[in-house]
Structure 1
Amino acid sequence: MGAVLTDTPDDTVSNPRWLDGTEMGAWRGFIDASQRLMEVLNRDLQAAHGISLADYRILVMLSESPDGSVRMSELADGVLSSRSRLTHQIRRMEVEGLVARSTCVDDGRGVLAVITDAGRERLAVAAPTHVHGVRKYLIDLLEPQELAAVATVFAKVDAALDERDDA
C-alpha cells in the first residue's frame, strides 16, 4: 500500500530524512512542471475566455452537480480554497453573471453557489481550450502506463492527505 508516515514532528525536525538526488529531482520536477502547467492553463483560459483556471474549476464543479448548485463550504473544499477567498471569487463571478448565490433550503443557514445559464455557456465555450491544453502539455506526452502511474501516485498522495486531515 505504500509507506506510512510514522515520524512525529519532533523526529522530523531533529533527524530529517534528506532527499537523495533522485528524490530531489522528482520533487523539483513535480513542483516546477505542475506550477508551470497551471500557469499555462490559466493563461490560455484568461486570454481566450476571460476566466481563470480557478473560475473554470468552480464552473465545472457546479455543472457536475445534479441541480447545478453546491454549498459554499463544500465548494471551498472541492477547489482547495479558503472560504474567504472563495467568497470573493464567487462575488466576482456573480457580478459577471456566471453564478448566483442562494440560501440552502435544507437548513436555511448554508449558502449555495448556483451556476447560471451564462456560466454554463462560458464553461461550454472554454472547455475545448482547457482540454486542448491538458492534452498538449500533459496527457498526450505520456504513454498509457505513465498515465496509469500518475493516477496511482496522486491517488496515494490524496489518500495520505485525507488521513492527515482526519487525524
Structure 2
Amino acid sequence: MTRVRRSNDWGFPRWRGYEGAREAAQVRLCDRHGCTEPGSCPAPKSPNSPERWYFCQKHAAEYNAGWDYFAGLSAEEAAERETTERAEAGGYKESAHYGWAGSGDGSRSRDEMRALEVLGLDPDADFETVKKAWRNKAKEVHPDVRPGDADAAKAFQTFQVAYEVLRAAEERREWRG
C-alpha cells in the first residue's frame, strides 16, 4: 500500500511559502566597464533619447558630474529652456518654505544653529571643534588684547554668548545620555 503524503497547503494562498516558487530576481550590473555593483541608477545615453545607461551610485555620480544639460543648444535656446523649466518648477521652490529649517541632522535647535554660524562652523561640528573656534575668535577680539575697541568688545560678547549656548546644549545632551 502506498502511503499518501500530506501537505500543509489547503488551497488557500496565504498558507503557501512566500516567493517559494519564484525564480531568482534578475540583477542588472553597472554598465561601467569592470564594475560588479548593481546598476540601479538610469542615466540617459544622450539628450532627448529614451536609451539609458544603468550605473551604480558611485558611477552615476561620476557620470552626472560631467553632464551638461544644455549641450548642443544655442545661448537663446538654453535661456528659453531654463526660464520654461523654472516657471514649471516654481511651486517646488515655494514649498521649500514649509520644509525643515536649515541644514544639519535636526538634532540642534535654531539657537544652536545661529551660534554655530556666529563661530563660522558647519552644522555638524562636534564640541571640541566648537571650543577651538571659540578660543581662536575670542583671542582675536578679547578686551585685554584690544583695550578701548567697542566693536571688538561687542564681538567678544557675541562669541561668548554663542559658546555658552553650545556648551549648555552639550551638557544637556550628556545629561540625557
Tell me the TM-score normalised to structure 2 length: 0.26
If each structure's helix is expressed as a fraction of its own residues, which one has the higher value? Answer: 1
**Bigger radius of gyration, 1 or 2?**
2
